[in-house]
Structure 1
Amino acid sequence: MTPGFGPRIHGPRWAHLPILTIGLLGVQILWSVEVSYASPYLLSLGLTKSNMAIVFLAGPLSGFLIQPLIGVLADNSTSRWGRRRPYMLGGCALSVASLLLLGYTREFAAVFTGYGNSMNDVVTRWLAILSIYFIDFSINAVQAVDRALLVDTLPSSMQASGNAWAASMLGVGSLFGFFVGNLDLPFLLPSLGSSELQVLSIITSALLLGGHITTAMLVEEKVLVRTAEQPRLSFRTEIREIFYSIPTLPRAIRQIFMVQFFAWLGWFPVLFYTTMYINDLYARSALAVGTPSDIVAEGTRLGSRGLFFSAVLALLTNLLLPLFAASGRSRGTIGTIIPECFKFPLSTLWAGSHLLFALCMLGTCFVTTVDGAIFLTALTGIPWAVTQWAPFSLLAEAILNCTPMSLDPEPSSAGVRDELDRLEMHTPLFEDIKELEPAPSGDGRNLSAQAGVILGIHNIFIVIPQFIATILSAIVFTLFDSGDSVTSSVELEVEMPAALGRASDSLGEKQNSVVYIFRLGALWAFIAFMICRQLGRELR
């Protein structure tokens, strides 16, 4: 394929990177809403914790299937609108529809069943599960396209600055999502809905769609034209290439992937069960007074508050910690104002983040109050911030310093693939924005398509532990939960006196089952810490 024209971003030069990455703001807000409200909402519909864990297989399943699928389809697209924008807008439309369905499941189910009957409860439950699957599948596609568009549009010298803006958009999105979740939105915006989730679904949908429409209108993509000499590779060949490339990776890159594997065994439960953990602690405390729905709503807001504090700390870490990352290629960046004696190798900072995360998870052995749980949750913002940018920077640095791997699993594709371009690494902070350099010439597949193969392999090592963590969570919930959570509105309505009696009992008499998952995460984080230390020695 040959490029029809190069990429271009309209608008003033200072706005180029915000325009290119603003879509990730809405993506992260949507993730924040799902993390904060999906678990309590499913429990309120009568799902047990073990069944809810199976529902959240949607996340890793979508990451495993949808991201490679969309990546291959977009890489081969010859649409006159560009390779990424059609999939971006289509995925956004499906995400918005699915999010609104999640917010208004009972109302939508009532169209077919009416209110106040058992059939409405059953249909509402299944529609909520279906909407979560559609949300995860569609937003994974959007996020993959957003990342690929950044790679396609920016030259290698601006990739670090672009990823810094992307990380900042993700941080601001988390901050906004969790902050708004602390407010009593039905009281402030009664016209948008009668529940927190309903109002949030409308606000998030508007921001997600608005951000991506802005990017689609102001970013012109490189259009690819297929020639007879450059035949289209089949989807099967593309997928086979990803898996055949894994054994050919240099040792440093494989170590980065293994660190991610064990790190995400610990992170996935924290991302989805933190609200449920704090909610359950609140429901068991003496502070839990009021109607069952009031207790659930207040517990969910407290969980969202802990995640909000975590997002604040993550955003500050994303802005400040890269200043202290040692790099031999930090010319012209803000990081040069920090004396070298105060800088550390990025691998050391990444290893330290795993150790801090392990300590936070072990802290659940001693925390018995809501305030203590909120503090631990907030503290995880530091390692989470490092997780958002350190692996990608180290991966690019490893590619830069290692012999490029061959991306040709078979001799028949040797004429189609080029070698991986060498990526120029900078300290991941805001650099002076320069004019866009001409897009790479050739078949249009060198930087973006070949980087896509490595990112696809990287995503596999993030997704597989999510499957494992989900299965382990379901087993733990089955063993340590009798199926009746005090955060479940079903139990609270039927056994309210007993539930309130339990709230005044010692927490040691009946543990919140989520803590066992978190404590197991401490083990995975420590293994990631050890591998990361070895990686640092090899990189040095």
Structure 2
Amino acid sequence: MAHASSRDILVQHYDSDTATLDVSGSEYEDLEMGLPSRSRGFFFMVTLAMGFGGLQLVFAVQWSYGSAYLTSLGLSKMMLGVAWIGGPLSGVFIQPLIGAASDRCRSPWGRRKPFIAAGGAIVTLSLLCLAWCRELLQGSIGIFLQHPSADFVDNITVPVAIFLFYLLNFGIQPLQSGLRALVVDSCPIHLQEKSTAYAGLSTSIGSIVGYIAGFIDLPQYLPLFDPLSDYADASRYPSFVLLLYAATSFISGLILYRLVQHYGLQSGFGDESKFFRLRLSLKGIWLVSNVFCAACMLSTPFLITTRGVTIVVCLLGIPWSITIWVPFALIGIETSRLRQTAALGLDTCSAHDRTGTILAVHSAAIALPQIIATMGASLIFWVMGDQGVTWVIACGGLAALVAAWMTLGVSESRGELREEAYHLGVL
């Protein structure tokens, strides 16, 4: 790329007052939300991130109560594993299809909103049916049989519950994919870190609300509910630990985002800023978080008290806050960079128009190791018995070390256009 032509283009399109590229009249004027980039303020970011809180609320209820509730419906341990594997399977096979379909969607609502609406409807319906699965089946069977036996109802409840659990996981895919792609589509490159950070904070808030709901003794305050069964009462205490974990994730995510904003985005290009940029860049934070996660997980075989386990679980909220922020920020930054360069005619690559597919590939890269981890955990439990829990977590620590090593190969493209403008003398 010749410097003369590049400089002319950058001078024409770069707004030095806002430190962003001015692409008025280009694709940015016709984004999913239909707003120019300068109108993307606090209210817009909060609105864009709210869906993640609702989605995480579903995850929190599913994770804290899913196994106990399915067991109460009569599912064996083997069938419980069959039910839970539906999430990773849908992430590997369903979400890539959803992502590609949303990229090609030309609905008047936009490319992402129809999938978000459809996914939200499926999730809502499946949760409601799953919550009253046995009662709905008893009522439906009672239409045809006057006095169905309890064993007959139980035998039907198990496959229906598994089907609804799979339907829930399948409904999550278009909702999650659409929300993630909407963030990337709706924000220019200089707002990708901010928008994904808001999404991460909203995710943590959703977790907090979900685990609070799981911890509170609802029948005590709402007499319309039946008294807590033994499985529900036992599930409240893990929900409290997960509540502490979610609170730690929210606080650490907020602090780390402010640190990156102060030392990363506001630092200049001089040598004096390299110290902070090296340690507080997205890549640097992600690398350190993986190492920290590995240290916490590898310590579990040496924990002998409940308090120690609780502390480690809470500390794991710190790397989790980074996991739900940094990878998506890097993907969003790269996709937005391609979109900007394409809008300026500097790049003819079409990857900027395949945001849904790119994010779906990332989702599959998350879900596939989950399937492998599930099979590996089953093998460890078969060999170690009840002592296998700590060793499964420790093996997860080894995987975190591998992730840290792989993070070293991640390149940050944030600010490439801005730095080129600086070197060309535009700034």
TM range (shorter): 0.7 to 0.9
After TM superposition, list the pairs within 5 Å mapping 1:150-189 onto structure 2: 150-189=183-222
1:134 equivalent in structure 2: 167
- Maintained 8 Å contact 2:335/2:351: no
Deviation string for 1:139-186 (max 9, x for gaps)?
Answer: 121011111222223333333322222111111111111122110112
Question: How far is the alpha carbon of 1:98 from its aligned partner?
Answer: 0.5
Which residue of 1 is the match for residue 51 of structure 2?
Answer: 23
The 1:538/1:23 distance shift into structure 2, 3 A limit, reads closer
Quote the offset at 1:535 in angstroms. Answer: 4.9
Which of 304, 311, 317 does residue 381 from structure 1 map onto? 317
Aligned amino acid, residue 363 of structure 1: S
Pairs within 5 Å for 1:464-475: 464-475=368-379
**Change in 2 beyond 3 A, CA 1:533/1:340:** closer
After TM superposition, the structure 1 stretch with the greater mean CA deviation from structure 2, 9-18 or 379-388, is 9-18
In structure 2, what is the equivalent of residue 109 of structure 1?
137
Which stretch of the first structure deviates more once superposed, 92-101 or 36-45?
A: 36-45
User: Which of 310, 313, 318 is residue 245 of structure 2 equivalent to?
Assistant: 310
Q: Which residue of 379, 382, 390 maps to 1:515?
A: 390
1:8 aligns with 2:40: no
CA contact (8 A) 1:53 1:473 kept: no
TM-superposed CA distance for 1:96, in Å, is: 0.5
In the TM superposition, residue 13 of structure 1 has moved relative to its aligned partner by 5.2
Task: Tell whether the 8 Å contact from 2:248 to 2:314 is kept in structure 1 after alignment.
Answer: yes
Q: 2:261 and 2:109 mapped to 1: Cα distance?
A: 41
User: What does 1:128-527 correspond to in 2, within 5 Å?
Assistant: 128-191=161-224, 193-194=225-226, 293-294=229-230, 296-325=231-260, 330-331=265-266, 343-395=279-331, 420-421=338-339, 449-481=353-385, 511-527=386-402
CA distance in 2, matches of 1:339, 1:384: 26
Asked if the contact 2:105/2:111 (under 8 Å) is kept, the reply is yes
Partner of 2:126: 98
SS in 2 for 1:78: coil
The structure 1 residue matched to 2:152, chosen from 109, 112, 119, is 119
1:524 positional shift: 1.1
The structure-2 alpha-carbon separation of the partners of 1:101 and 1:363, relative to structure 1 and needing over 3 Å to count, comes to: farther
SS at match of 1:376: helix
| Partners of 2:254 and 2:329 in 1: CA distance | 15
Q: What's the CA shift for 1:137?
A: 0.7
Residue in 1 that maps onto 2:95: 67
Change (3 A) 1:378 1:116: farther
Q: How many residues align?
A: 372
- Look up the equivalent residue of 2:323 and give its one-letter code: T
8 Å Cα contact 1:348-1:536 kept in structure 2: no
**TM-score normalised to structure 2 length:** 0.75
Report the RMSD for the aligned CA atoms in angstroms: 3.7
In 1, the alpha carbon distance for the partners of 2:326 and 2:377 equals 27
CA shift, 1:46, in A, is: 4.1
Partner residue, 1:77: 105
In structure 1, distance between residues paired with 2:45 and 2:108: 23
How far does residue 534 in structure 1 lie from its aligned partner after superposition? 5.7
Q: Note closer, same or farther for the CA distance 1:357–1:155 as it changes in structure 2 (3 Å cut).
A: closer
1:52 CA drift (Å): 2.2
Kept in 2: contact 1:50–1:474 (CA 8 A):
no
CA contact (8 A) 1:305 1:374 kept: no
- How much has 1:372 moved relative to structure 2? 3.3
Q: Given the superposition, is the C-alpha separation of residues 459 and 170 from structure 1 closer, same or farther in structure 2, using an over 3 Å criterion?
A: same
**Unaligned residue ranges in structure 2 (runs of 5+):** 1-25, 415-427
Against the structure 1 CA distance between its residues 536 and 152, is the aligned structure 2 distance closer, same or farther, given a 3 Å change threshold?
A: closer
Q: Secondary structure at the match of 2:108?
A: coil
Deviation at 1:50, TM superposition (A): 4.2
Query: In the alignment, residue 226 of structure 2 is paired with which amino acid?
Result: S
8 Å contact from structure 1 (residues 315, 385) kept in 2: yes
Gaps of 5+ in 1: 197-292, 402-419, 424-438, 482-510
* CA positional deviation for 1:537: 12
CA distance, structure 2, for counterparts of residue 195 and residue 146 of structure 1: 37
Paired residue secondary structure (1:320): helix
Q: C-alpha distance in 1, partners of 2:323/2:308?
A: 23
- Is the contact made by 1:50 and 1:475 (CA closer than 8 Å) also made in structure 2? no
The alpha carbon displacement at 1:101 in A equals 1.7
Amino acid at match of 2:339: D
Contact kept? 2:211, 2:242, Cα under 8 Å: yes
Identify which of structures 1 and 2 has the higher relative contact order when contacts are C-alpha pairs closer than 8 Å and 6+ apart: 1
Q: Distance in 2 between matches of 1:194 and 1:9?
A: 48
Would the aligned equivalents of 2:214 and 2:239 in 1 still touch at CA under 8 Å?
Answer: yes
Instruction: Name whichever structure is richer in helix by fraction.
Output: 2
Which digits, 9 at most, give the CA deviation of each residue in 1:450-486, with x for residues without a partner?
33343233222212101111222333344445xxxxx
Deviation by residue 1:396-435 (Cα, 9 ceiling, x = unmatched): 567799xxxxxxxxxxxxxxxxxx3358xxxxxxxxxxxx
Secondary structure of 2:354 counterpart: helix
Cα offsets for 1:43-96 (capped at 9, x unmatched)? 334434444223211111111222222222222222223222222212111101
Alignment partner of 2:266: what SS?
coil
CA distance in 2, matches of 1:175, 1:319: 14
Separation (CA, whole Å) in 2 of partners of 1:175 and 1:367: 26
CA offsets 1:219-257 (integer angstroms, 9 cap, x no match)? xxxxxxxxxxxxxxxxxxxxxxxxxxxxxxxxxxxxxxx
Amino acid at match of 2:184: V
